[in-house]
């Protein structure tokens, strides 16, 4: 996924912020997970105060064009998030959607031929 999307970092975590998997990068996985947890807390606040439907994605774009993308998904009643750092002007949605599908298959135990 990181190669296909040219992502600089990727972290799969629970909604509690517990990292499940990460791809080695120049970014510290704990720092990325902490940022994701802050975004999650913000989403929860907005959800409860504005009564918005469940959010499936949040993106933060830096002044240099890099983007922190947090994709949220549910599998077997448990919520997860996939966070990636994408370079400027890089399409990420299709790649992260494919990754989420593959993660769900892996979580189901169906990924083992």
Residue 112 lies in a domain: no
Query: Residues 20-31: pLDDT tens digits?
Result: 887 766 666 677
Does the pLDDT at position 112 exceed 60? no
The number of distinct structural domains making up the chain is 1
Domain of 34? 2-107
More confident residue, 78 or 40: 78
Q: How far is CA 57 from CA 15, 25, 81, 108, in A?
A: 13, 22, 9, 23
The CATH number covering residue 76 comes to: 3.30.450.30
pLDDT on residue 58: 85
Residue 88 lies in a domain: yes
More confident residue, 4 or 28: 4
Does the pLDDT at position 111 exceed 70? no
Query: Residues 83-110: pLDDT tens digits?
Result: 888 999 888 999 999 999 999 999 888 6
How many helices (H) and strands (E) in the chain?
Answer: 3, 5
């Amino acid at each position: 996924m990181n190669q296909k999307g040219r992502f600089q970092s990727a972290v799969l975590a629970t909604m509690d912020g517990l990292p499940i998997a990460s791809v080695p990068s120049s970014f510290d996985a704990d720092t990325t997970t902490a940022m994701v947890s802050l975004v999650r807390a913000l989403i929860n606040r907005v959800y409860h105060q504005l009564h918005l439907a469940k959010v499936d994605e949040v993106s933060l774009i830096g002044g240099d064009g890099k983007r922190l993308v947090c994709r949220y998904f549910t599998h077997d009643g448990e919520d997860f998030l996939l966070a990636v750092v994408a370079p400027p002007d890089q399409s990420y949605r299709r790649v992260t959607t494919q990754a989420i599908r593959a993660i769900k298959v892996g979580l189901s135990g169906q990924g083992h031929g």
